[in-house]
Structure 1
Amino acid sequence: MLIDAIRGIMRGEGVDFPSLVMQLLATVAVIFLILPLHEYAHGLIAYKLGDPTAKQSGRLTLNPLASIDKVGTLGLLLFGIGWAKPVPVNPRYFRNPKRDMALTALAGPVSNILAGFVGTVVYYLLLCLPFIPVQALSVLSVFFYYYISINLMLAVFNLLPAPPLDGSRLVAAFLPNRMVYQYYRYERYVVLVLFVLLFTGVLDPVLSFLHGHLWNAVISLASTPFRALGLL
């Protein structure tokens, strides 16, 4: 992401500008297509589970203008990790608030994994087309690499068990009610800490480890039918 280019410049290293352009284009695609999908997935599952809040507030939509968050967009451009404006969810509508809130939260990261998987399949399909020039495939490979990588990193990041990330909702589903309030008590401060950890690179080893395993799983699954048909 841009933070890597900035760090490289600070160390006196060169910058691969063509790759950086493809990286930015992939990031823009995620901002305008996938972040709205992520929030739509939250709202849709909540709606299916009985909560009409997102629909009533006009947030059950794929319109990016309804979802763009300035800070989250900046985070995505700088670190490859960000967020959209959260859809409103009211757990009082749920029959089983803890379980249904966890399912609603899980829908977002799952949408990112699916988006990454679809991007991988599309890339392999393009590789199979004989009329696409090698130069074009080289450029597309950089774009899809970052597109897939950003989606999977968003899934990994959002599944971290830190409020207000989606992973915290999964953890809360298993906590006693008396502990849930304490768990979310310092949510606003956790956001600041996460930004500091991202900027300093402290979280990089953990995120890279999880991202690598998810990347291998998605690539393996998406490539299996192509390899079975002898296309790769």
Structure 2
Amino acid sequence: MGGLLFYDWNTLPFVILVLVLSFTIHEWAHAYSAYKLGDDTAYKFGRVSLNPMVHLDLFGTIMLLIAGFGWAKPVPVNRGNFKRPRLFGIIVTAAGPISNLVMAFITLFIFALFQKYGWLDGMSKGSSDAINIFFQLMVTINLRLFLFNLIPIPPLDGYRIIQDVVNLRYTDKLVKFEQWSSVIFLLVVFISPIRRVTLDPYLRLIYDIADALAKPIFWILGM
């Protein structure tokens, strides 16, 4: 921890770089999948782009730096443009978290290549340490974003998936739940006893997922 920050000051430049990459790919995945499935709303807003400036949300980024959890600007999606609104809506929503999972896998694969072929050998300690920190943060932050976004609290992706999955007769109940969502979110993130009971055990899955992703990589590379 670095004072008010969730991350240490020494790693902050790497954290910011990883956040820019991870948030940008996450939101691009939403926008691109919506565009390919027939909705050009995000495209018209310039969101089918890998330009970080069109995706980053200032408050969401600050929250991630302070609390370890955050978000980018929501991608506008008009489900009425889909041939199968609910199914395609789920696909578009899930594309964001899945992109974070894919990035974590790719990072682990590249890091395994570095280890197998000794690409860090001969580098200065500062350079090798910097590369190790970057790889570690790319994996942990992307897995954190993957898990965090699947929590069924608005405006997170998990809640949008629930909206598309549940029967329409429960819509009114979901709307009532949305009124309390901000309060629930703040309680879970900032009240330590509640966070320890609810969120922390859930996020410990990061290590289990990382281990599950690493096993096939090590098998492929014969490590």
Same fold by TM-score, threshold 0.5 exceeded?
Answer: yes
Q: Which runs of 4+ in 1 moved over 6 A?
A: none
For structure 2, the 5+ residue unaligned runs are: none
Q: Which residue of 2 aligns with 1:156?
A: 147
Which of residues 8, 14, 21 is equivalent to 2:10?
21
What is the TM-score when the length of structure 1 is the normalising length?
Answer: 0.83
Q: What does 1:1-232 align with in structure 2 at a 5 Å threshold?
A: 2=2, 5-6=3-4, 20-22=9-11, 24-127=12-115, 128=117, 129=119, 130-133=121-124, 136-187=127-178, 189-201=180-192, 202=195, 203-226=198-221, 228=222, 230=223
Amino acid at match of 1:177: L
For 2:90 and 2:183, the matched residues in 1 are separated by: 24
Q: Shift of residue 190 of structure 1?
A: 1.1
For structure 1, the 5+ residue unaligned runs are: 9-16
- Contact 2:152–2:158 under 8 Å retained in 1: yes
Q: Shift of residue 90 of structure 1?
A: 0.4
Q: How many residues align?
A: 216
Residues 178-224 of structure 1: per-residue CA shift (max 9 Å, x gap): 21343144435313421331122414433333323222212223333
Amino acid at match of 1:147: M
- Contact 1:26–1:144 under 8 Å retained in 2: no
Aligned identity (percent) is: 31
- Contact 1:44–1:60 under 8 Å retained in 2: yes
For 2:215 and 2:168, the matched residues in 1 are separated by: 40
Q: CA RMSD in A?
A: 2.4
Amino acid at match of 2:28: Y
What is the TM-score when the length of structure 2 is the normalising length?
Answer: 0.86
For 1:145 and 1:217, the matched residues in 2 are separated by: 16
